[in-house]
């Protein structure tokens, strides 16, 4: 039918599903196609979210610099997006994870702070918070602040309980497992990771 917006949406979600299924080559191709299609139809929100997902994929593949390039392009698109705050919050959360993977803890903390500031300024979105909180736990633990990590994990657990999302519950259990591991409670950590 030539509905490029619908095709772009399918490429974006399909690419992220392929990433989750482990077909990273196909995922990358679909996400790059989504970026191109969204640019062609001047949908900045779609472009920014596709670039965020592409950056997540590239980070997971260890292509940290390429991922940061995608995130930077995503930030540029997000600034003119209708869903600006949602796009920015997700991008900053993903950038924090990327910088942790690079071993750059100060930069990770900076990106996390930018995500928190954006979320606070525009009113917290539950979905965006559910993506930001796991990174907040990681950053707090990397900074050696177990109390802050525990608080963030509690917030994520409360959100997961309130909305009953299995994916969010898994993220909350994983975050709790991280806190317990650093807190030298291996048996409880194992249980949390098993639950995740």
Please tell me the predicted confidence (pLDDT) of residue 84.
Answer: 86
What are the two backbone dihedrals, phi and then psi, of residue 2, each rounded to the nearest 5 degrees? 75, 20
pLDDT of residue 57: 97
| Distance from C-alpha of 87 to C-alpha of 93, rounded to nearest angstrom | 10
Q: What confidence tens digit (pLDDT) does each residue in 116-170 have?
A: 898 888 766 778 778 899 999 999 999 999 999 999 999 999 989 988 889 889 9
> Is 73 among the domain residues?
yes
Same domain (yes/no): 177, 158: yes
pLDDT, residue 130, reads: 81
- CATH number of 97's domain: 1.25.40.10
Residue 2 pLDDT level (bands cut at 50, 70, 90)? confident
Q: What is the pLDDT of residue 124?
A: 65
Average pLDDT over residues 87-114: 96
Give domain status of residue 145, yes or no.
yes
Q: Say what the pLDDT of residue 69 is.
A: 97
Cβ atoms of 58 and 67 within 8 Å: the answer is: yes
- Residue 140 domain boundaries: 134-196
End-to-end CA distance of the chain: 41
Same domain, 101 and 49: yes
Stretch 19-29: mean pLDDT, rounded? 95
Checking if the pLDDT of 186 tops 80, the result is yes
In this structure, the answer to whether residues 70 and 27 fall within a common structural domain is yes
Q: Which of 108, 107, 128, 109 minimizes the C-alpha distance to 119?
A: 128
Among 138, 139, 176, residue whose Cα is nearest residue 158: 176
On whether both 100 and 141 belong to a single domain, the answer is no
What torsion do the CA atoms of 111, 114, 115, 116 make, to the nearest 10 degrees? 120
Give the count of domains, the chain: 2
Say yes or no to pLDDT of 180 above 80. yes
Domain end among 123, 151, 183? 123
Which of the two residues, 2 and 22, has the higher pLDDT score? 22
Q: Scanning the structure block, which residue is given the tokens 């001047």?
A: 42
Whole-number average pLDDT of the chain: 93
Q: CB–CB of 154/184 below 8 Å?
A: no
Identify the helix (H) or strand (E) that includes residue 105.
Answer: helix 105-122
Q: Domain boundary at 90, 123, 156, which?
A: 123
Q: Which long-range contacts (CB under 8 A, 24 or more apart) does 71-80 make?
A: 71/95, 71/98, 74/47, 74/48, 74/49, 75/48, 77/44, 77/45, 77/47, 77/48, 77/51, 78/44, 78/45, 78/48, 79/44, 80/44
Angle among Cα 85, 131, 162 to the nearest 5 degrees reads: 105
Q: What is the pLDDT of residues 147-160, one digit of tens each?
A: 999 999 999 999 89
pLDDT of residue 55: 97
Does 152 lie in the same domain as 97? Answer: no
């Amino acid at each position: 039918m030539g509905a490029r917006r619908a095709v772009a949406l399918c490429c974006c979600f399909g690419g992220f599903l392929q990433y989750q299924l482990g077909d990273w080559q196909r995922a990358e191709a679909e996400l790059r196609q989504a970026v191109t299609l969204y640019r062609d139809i001047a949908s900045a929100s779609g472009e920014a979210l596709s670039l965020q997902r592409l950056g997540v994929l590239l980070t997971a593949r260890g292509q940290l610099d390429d991922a940061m390039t995608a995130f930077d392009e995503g930030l540029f698109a997000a600034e003119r997006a209708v869903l600006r705050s949602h796009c920015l919050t997700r991008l900053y959360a993903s950038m924090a994870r990327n910088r942790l993977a690079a071993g750059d803890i100060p930069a990770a903390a900076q990106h996390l702070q930018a995500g928190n500031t954006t979320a606070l300024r525009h009113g917290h979105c539950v979905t965006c918070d559910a993506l930001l909180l796991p990174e907040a736990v990681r950053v707090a633990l990397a900074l050696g602040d177990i109390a802050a990590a525990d608080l963030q994990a509690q917030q994520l657990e409360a959100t997961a309980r309130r909305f009953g999302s299995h994916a969010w519950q898994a993220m909350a259990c994983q975050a709790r497992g991280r806190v317990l591991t650093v807190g030298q409670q291996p048996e409880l950590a194992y249980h949390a990771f098993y639950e995740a």
